Amino acid sequence: MKDAGEQLAHSTSSASLRRSEERSKQIEAEIDKDPSKFRVLTGDRPTGNLHIGHYFGSLANRVELQNKGVETWVLVADYQVITDRDETGPIRERVYSLVADYLAVGIDPAKSVIFNHSMVPALNQLLLPFLSLVTEAELLRNPTVKSELEATGNRALSGLLLTYPVHQAADILFCKANLVPVGKDQLPHLEQTRVVARRFDERYGRAVPEEPVFPQAEALLSKASLLLGMDGHKMSKSRGNTIEIGMSADETAKRIKKAVTDADRHITYDPENRPEVSNLVLLAALTSGRTPQEVAEEIGDGGAGQLKKLVTESVNEFFAPIRARRAELAANPDYLREVLYAGISKANERADLTLDEVRQAMGMVY
């Protein structure tokens, strides 16, 4: 049984999540009324090619926000590659692969800013004053840091991994984003950003309290259903269980053919009791514009073979135009570089202004 402290923590966490969900719904309505009120920061680490889980989990939502008129900043988080690994790997290729994926799915560089944070010195310089605002204990309580400690048997953390939540805060605050699309598991990261922003203004603030240096960024919770990998585990680039956005139709068919199912020939949508089968049903539904229940009813007693055939056809048809566009982009690296460097220029301009404000607030203008 849980002790009183654990029960209280669980209750507090549940109440906080409910408030976040309610506020997220309000924000969606506010975006429809006046998208100009919001500035979004979102992005990915260039640790491998993006996959269809990324598409349905975040990329499609970014395109929707952008097209509604929300100012959108898309970060290629290249420095964060080395938070939990010993080398950068083929990072240049992965950065440009990410840019190609972004453009292929519909992120428009005329409407959104695509940049990588290693090329924005003022952004990273914000890390120094921000680190003075948090304690070691707070950093160690961060879920990402805690899980890494547990996974490595409490082996010593790198300084970069320990301070990862503060670096993430710098990513959000440098452009003064007030909205961050996140999953429920990422809410503690955003709360750390809010703490940094609040403490900075409490400590250094402006003469006019109503005009803080940094906004309190809010969460726009993802409504996307979680897609599992083809092996039934979490979809992950490192597990090799994904269907990448840029895969060919044949490669996609091979991955789906190997997908884990179960022994029951009758196809149903029951995520709790039949997660692997239901995952394929959901994937067919997402790529065909139907409900999972409709897909399951169509297959009926057709079994896993018929289900995999339908999933393969639906996925390949849905992603065909995206893949064609991506192939064109990948064949034109000069254009990808042009897009990236245009975004870097805008990010540097914004970061320099923010760092100047920080120095002014701290009295560090000489």
pLDDT of residue 345: 98
pLDDT of residue 208: 54
Q: Are residues 199 and 65 in the same domain?
A: yes
pLDDT of residue 270: 94
Q: Is residue 6 part of a domain?
A: no
Q: Is residue 338 part of a domain?
A: no
Q: Are residues 108 and 167 in the same domain?
A: yes
Q: Are residues 303 and 356 in the same domain?
A: no
Split the chain (366 residues) into runs of 10 and give each run's mean pLDDT: 43 76 94 97 93 93 96 96 85 96 97 97 97 93 82 77 93 97 87 95 73 91 83 82 94 94 94 94 95 95 95 97 97 97 98 96 92
d(CA 270, CA 195): 40
Q: Is residue 7 part of a domain?
A: no
Q: Is residue 10 part of a domain?
A: no
* Number of domains making up the chain: 2
Q: Are residues 214 and 303 in the same domain?
A: no
Helix axes 292-299, 275-288, angle to 10 degrees: 110
pLDDT of residue 209: 57
Q: Report the CATH number at residue 44.
A: 3.40.50.620
Cα 219 to Cα 9, 21, 128, 179, 356: the distances in Å are: 21, 9, 25, 6, 27
Q: Is residue 73 part of a domain?
A: yes
pLDDT of residue 238: 72
Q: Are residues 214 and 250 in the same domain?
A: no
Q: Are residues 325 and 298 in the same domain?
A: yes
* Closest of 13, 42, 35, 12 to residue 217, by C-alpha: 42
Q: Is residue 9 part of a domain?
A: no
Non-local CB neighbours of 246 within 8 Å, separated by 6+ positions: 49, 97, 100, 101, 104, 323, 326, 327, 330
pLDDT of residue 237: 73
Q: Are residues 282 and 136 in the same domain?
A: no
Structural domain containing residue 45: 18-224+350-362
* Structure tokens belonging to residue 274: 């039949």
* Structure tokens belonging to residue 73: 């900043």
Q: Report the CATH number at residue 318.
A: 1.10.240.10
Three-class secondary structure of residue 75 per DSSP: strand
Q: Is residue 278 part of a domain?
A: yes
Q: Are residues 176 and 48 in the same domain?
A: yes
pLDDT of residue 156: 77
pLDDT of residue 5: 40
Q: Are residues 177 and 255 in the same domain?
A: no
Q: Are residues 171 and 27 in the same domain?
A: yes
pLDDT of residue 10: 46
Q: Is residue 340 part of a domain?
A: no
Q: Are residues 73 and 207 in the same domain?
A: yes
Please tell me the pTM assigned to this model.
0.91
pLDDT of residue 4: 43
Q: Are residues 72 and 198 in the same domain?
A: yes
